[in-house]
Structure 1
Amino acid sequence: MATFQVTSAQTINRATQIIDTLASDALRGRLAGSDGEKLATDYISNEFKKLGLKPAGENGTYFQVMTKYQKVVQNNTLVINKENIASDQFFVDTNLEQIYSKKAKELQVKDIPSGKSLKEFREELLKETAVTMVWIKSDQHKKELATLQFKSANQKHLEDVSSKQAIIWVVPPASALSKFKKVLLDFKQEVKKVEMRNVMAKLEGTAKAKEVVMIGAHHDHIGILDAVQEDSIANGADDNASGVSAVIQIAEYFAKRKRAYARTILFTTFTAEEIGLVGSEYMVSKMSEEELKNIVALINIEMIGKPSANGKRKAYITGYNKSNLGRLMQKNVRAARINFNFFADPYPDLQLFMRSDNAPFAAKGVPAHTVSSTDIDFDSYYHTVNDEIPSLDFQNIVEVTKGIIIGIEPIVSGRVTPSRIR
């Protein structure tokens, strides 16, 4: 059985170097689609390039790019018959950057037809481009308007903004129902294109090159938060610069060894995990059924910067009993006679198996699990500005990284094959 080919001191130094870069204030919390995320993915791809790993992204690059859109409202004023309409009483439903009108006759005014929901009527209006003001009168339609407003406020990214609808949903003042004669509509927003990037690099196998072992971690975090003691940057040192450091070090281990491996290793870091597994779901959507069947295992690494609740030199694996990957990894480290253990996720109520980037792959039957150590149930720094480098246990990061390498080496070598997800 192979052993880890570097000293602990060197590995701690390397982990520190990687995490210092990814969790620095310069990256502004690595929000998906931000300049900080771009800096992070440039850094990760350059580390892969230096190792001689082959690009596995689009068009011969290390990147798989997702284009999305973001709407940022800058002005939102509606006055009807000299009455200011409160912001919760109307909603400008448009992808246009500006709508301005001071003349009531410039607007179409419609009621929602009897028996139709707001959603059904909206589907009809999406086909029109005229500025249309729709009166919201019934209690049911008012509830639907509140739902539409809530969804819009919480939908940070859109897939498409090509539709040119211009709908103003309004709970009208009493005066407008008798006579709609004066209006001031002043709406302005910025529609920005946002690019998010998965990073993908591979070390090609030999005898079983079509079969793939994936090593992954998400590189994004949550960006800028409300300031706490003048600190507003959510650096994400544990979540998940620690996991990315393990991916890079595992890549370094396998790429620098003077031997060939039977199976291909795909090293990837995912974007937009923090906003709903967007990057990993996109990656799965771009893979054929055959490609997914050829993924022998995905080891997703998340938050390994602190010792587990079960003690040091241990890491838990989510969905432990859904395939035998965890048991194989535990068997392999035991055979190597190192002081490390993998154990089952101790937080079943948190449903962690479906909350990280392994989940979209597991849904397709891939033996895809997340390895973690941080006691997430009691981690007060999780998703706060306090998730900083001084809070990390770098020896723990070294031990978990070492455990994963030894745990997966027989799989990469083609000697053992995990069972599919059940």
Structure 2
Amino acid sequence: MSAGFSKTTRRVRTRRGVVWLGQTCNLRCRFCYFQTRVATREHPDHPFMSLDKARAVCSTLRGRYGNTAVDIQGGEPTIYPQIEALVAHCREIGLLPTLITNAVALDDPQRCRRLKQAGLRDLLVSVHGLGAAYDEAVGLPGAHARQMKALDNLAAEAIPFRLNCVLASSVLPDLAAIARLAVERGARVMNFIAFNPFEDQQGARSGQDVHRYSEVAGPLADALDHLEANGLEANVRYLPLCVAQPRHRKNFYNFQQLPYDLHEWDYASWSWSGRNPQRRRDGELEPPITLREANRRSKMFGHDGYLEDASVSVEDEYRHSALIRAREHCGYRFAPACAACALKDICDGFHGDYSSLYGADEASAQDLPGISCPVGDPRHLIREQVKIVEDEDASWAL
């Protein structure tokens, strides 16, 4: 591993927060979580917030929640007019900034240079296909060529980057090529994300963009094998664990595993920054809340007494939050086959919208050698994965 990074199998809770600047974007991705808000200028989430408000959100993430890194996203953060100033503010307060971006605007080398000078830590670049397939998926002719030019610019400026890829139907033919791209261009991490209908997509997706998990499994396994063979960290988000080949179980992250990925979001601060007042231009920020207070508002755990139990551990609070996100917010379901699965207690199951399209009969009970009862620790599988840790995090993460 090149200078600036280490490898580890230790799993600790992430200290990364997230801030949404507003749903203003230069693309119109067909499967965007926020497609209505991006397309509707009158939506209260659409306009970018002021620099002062964005700074205040980031300062709360650092000062109140103890976050040490932050994902800044939009919409598209590279077109936020004061993005360099916000990046510099994050650095000044000890919050290491990442931009979640399509990178199209970074085909301008001067933008890359200014971001680096401001203190940008790295980028998480969304690559949802290649060539004409990408252009069609994001609604902009020439977008793929601009994105590839941006990767050239990042290499020239020595700006680290990771890649995100949504497992939509249109992307599957390019999955192997995207894995090769990640290796050839020097990405630090490759993430594959199931096309789950969060936010504006909830209840609205169709089979046009959603393959059956059984059809995703083969191309995904081939891509993961290529990344593994080349020493690149790969993660799969929000797929049932039975979709994984046994050799790839360590790479699969459901809601219970996410808090142990340093590049994912801390549930405590996310429960605050993800609420409307913290992601809109208009209105005042809400007072910060604890994770226990956020859990109290759920239908699942708000009235069963656990929140008044002083013996409830922080680990349990995070696990409760994971269950709320999966079952209450997204309607994940289990199939009859799940009852006999050794992984049922650390797996989300099948997303509610997916089940409404295809059911859950693809589920299959999984066995683990030497284990006769369901696994109870969400880290049981992922602790075998070798993950990268930036040197700036090494004092607490290694």
Q: TM-score, normalised by structure 2?
A: 0.24
Greater fraction of residues in helix: 2
Greater fraction of residues in strand: 1
> Which has the higher Rg, Structure 1 or Structure 2?
1
Q: TM-score, normalised by structure 1?
A: 0.23
